[in-house]
Amino acid sequence: MVQMCPTHDTTTVIRNGVAVVTCEHCGMVAFRNRDSFGGVAALFADYRLVGRVEAIGAPGGEVMAFRPARPSDRSAMDAIPPHRWFRADEHLWVCQDGSVLLLAHRFPQVSRMLGA
């Protein structure tokens, strides 16, 4: 089951048919009725991998950078508050600045799971 924040008020936003739940206190993001990878994959289905960077200052081992295929797809990013890392689970973090989506992860297989 998805672990929602049990302590704080959370914010739920629906994008691309995905209910995205964030807690700004804990820096966590979860997806109703989906696991973390399924939620990220569905929410950002139209995003394209634009590069990989070393995870300097980031929580994971590798950071993948994505951009929306169309400007209108930026609304998917807006489901997550900008300019900080949100933890989807112990292996996956998400950060966005309004134009680029960053996914940080610990394991190479995550790249394949995300279709990158």
Q: Choose the binding region for Zn ion from 21-29, 45-53, 64-72, 74-82 (rule: CB under 5 A).
A: 21-29
Q: Which of 2, 13, 19, 26 binds Zn ion (CB under 5 A)?
A: 26
Separation of alpha carbons 110 and 114, rounded Å: 6
Note whether 5 binds Zn ion by CB under 5 A: yes
Q: Does 2 bind Zn ion (CB under 5 A)?
A: no
Q: In Å, what is the CA distance from 69 to each residue of 15, 19, 45, 64?
A: 16, 21, 10, 15
SS3 for 93?
Answer: strand
Between 29 and 64, whose beta carbon lies closer to Zn ion? Answer: 29
Q: Min. distance of Cβ 81 from Zn ion in angstroms?
A: 13
The nearest distance, CB 22 to Zn ion, in angstroms, is 9
5-13, 39-47, 70-78, 102-110 -> range binding Zn ion (CB under 5 A):
5-13
**Dmax of the chain from CA atoms?**
37
* CA end-to-end distance (rounded Å), the chain: 25
The yes or no reply on residue 8 touching Zn ion (CB under 5 A) is yes
CA distance 63 to 42: 19
With beta carbons less than 8 A apart as the criterion, state whether 55 and 62 touch: yes
Please tell me whether residue 84 binds Zn ion under the rule CB under 5 A. no
- List contacts with Zn ion (CB under 5 A): 5, 7-8, 23, 25-26
